[in-house]
Structure 1
Amino acid sequence: MNKWYVLYTKPNREKKVLSQLVKLNMSVYCPMLTTVRQWSDRKKKILTPLIPRVIFVKCLETERDQVFQVPGVQHYLFWLKKPAVVRGSEIKALQEWLNGEIIEAKVHDLKVGDNYVIKNQVFNGKEGVVSEVSKNRIQIVLKELGIKISLTK
C-alpha cells in the first residue's frame, strides 16, 4: 500500500527536487504559497513552500530509496526509528486549506497555550495549541502537522 512520507531537501531546493521526482514518475506534493517579494526596483509574486525543505512523497516502502537518485534530497523524517507516515486525509486537508476554503471558529474564553479542537470543515477533529488570540481570530498550531493556521469568527 502506498503511504505518504516526509522527505527533507537541501535549503531552497524544493522546486528542483519536486520536478525531478515527477520525472521519475513518483507521486509528490509540496504545498506552496504565493508570496510577494520586494526587491529594490520591483515587487514580484513567487511560489514559496509552505513548509521549507519538505516534500511529501507517496510510494511503497520498498520504493522509498528511489528518491536518493535526485540531487538535493537529504533524508526522510523519522519518528520512533521508523519513517514518519502522513495520513492521506491530512494531505487532503492541507490541499483544501491552501485552495482557500474558509474555516470558521468562535473565539471566546480562549487564551494563549490553551488546547483547542477544531469542530468543522477541513481540519475537523484536529487538535492544536492556541498561539494568538484577537477579537475575531485565533491562531492555532496543529500538533500533528506542525503548522499554524488562522481561524476567524
Structure 2
Amino acid sequence: MNWYVVYTKPKWEKKVAEQLQKRGIECYCPLVTQMRQWSDRKKKVEVPLFNSYVFVQLAEGDRNAVFECVGVVRYLFWLGKPAIVRNDEIEVIKKWLNTSDTTDVAVSSYQVGDSIQLESGPFSAQTATIQEMTNTHYVLVLESLGCVLKMKIK
C-alpha cells in the first residue's frame, strides 16, 4: 500500500486524522510542540509540521474513502497523478520528530549553492544544497525529501 498526501481545510489536520483513524484508515499527521504566547499566558501546543496535509496509507482502489471525512479537500497531485510518499520518507519524519538530541552542524567553509552530505542527526546520509546562510541560521534544501530545512545556529 502507498502513502498519499491528503489536502485538508486550514487548521483541520488533527480533526481529519482523528476521523480517518475512526474509519480504520492508516494515517499520519506529524505534530511538533511549539510555545505560543497570548496576552495573559504562554502555553505549549502541538501544531502540525505540514500545514493542511495529512498522510494516508491506502490501496489504490480505496482512495475515495477519505472523502467521507469532513475537512478533506483533495489529494495532492504531482505530474498529474496523486503524489506518493515512500515509506522510508515517512520513517525519516517519524525518526526526526522522535529525536530529542540536538545536532550541531557547521557549514562555515561552504558557499551558497554547495551540495553537502549530512553526517549525523535524523537526516544523516541525506544530500542537501545550501540555499541561504545568515548569522542566525542555515537554510538547506533536501531534494530527495522535497523539503527545506532551516537550522538555527546556537
* Identity level (%): 40
Could you tell me how far apart the structure 1 residues matched to 2:40 and 2:135 are? 37
Could you tell me how far apart the structure 1 residues matched to 2:45 and 2:136 are? 29
Tell me if structure 2 keeps the 8 A contact 1:128–1:140. Answer: yes
For residue 123 of structure 1, give the secondary structure of its aligned residue in structure 2: coil
Gaps of 5+ in 1: none
Q: Write the deviation string for residues 84-113 of structure 1: whole angstroms up to 9, x where unpaired.
A: 111111110111111125445442421233
Could you tell me how far apart the structure 2 residues matched to 1:125 and 1:94 are? 14
TM-score (norm 1): 0.85
Structure 1 residue 145 corresponds to structure 2 residue 146: yes
Distance 1:4 1:54, change over 3 A: same
Tell me if structure 1 keeps the 8 A contact 2:139–2:148. Answer: no
Count of aligned pairs between the two proteins: 152
Could you tell me how far apart the structure 2 residues matched to 1:113 and 1:11 are? 33
Cα deviation for residue 77 of structure 1 reads 0.9
TM-score (norm 2): 0.85
User: Paired residue for 2:56?
Assistant: 57
Cα deviation for residue 36 of structure 1 reads 1.0
User: Paired residue for 1:110?
Assistant: 110
Query: How do residues 1-153 of structure 1 correspond to structure 2 at under 5 angstroms?
Result: 2-100=1-99, 101-103=101-103, 105-120=105-120, 122-133=122-133, 138-143=138-143, 144-150=145-151
Distance 1:151 1:93, change over 3 A: farther
For residue 109 of structure 2, give the secondary structure of its aligned residue in structure 1: coil
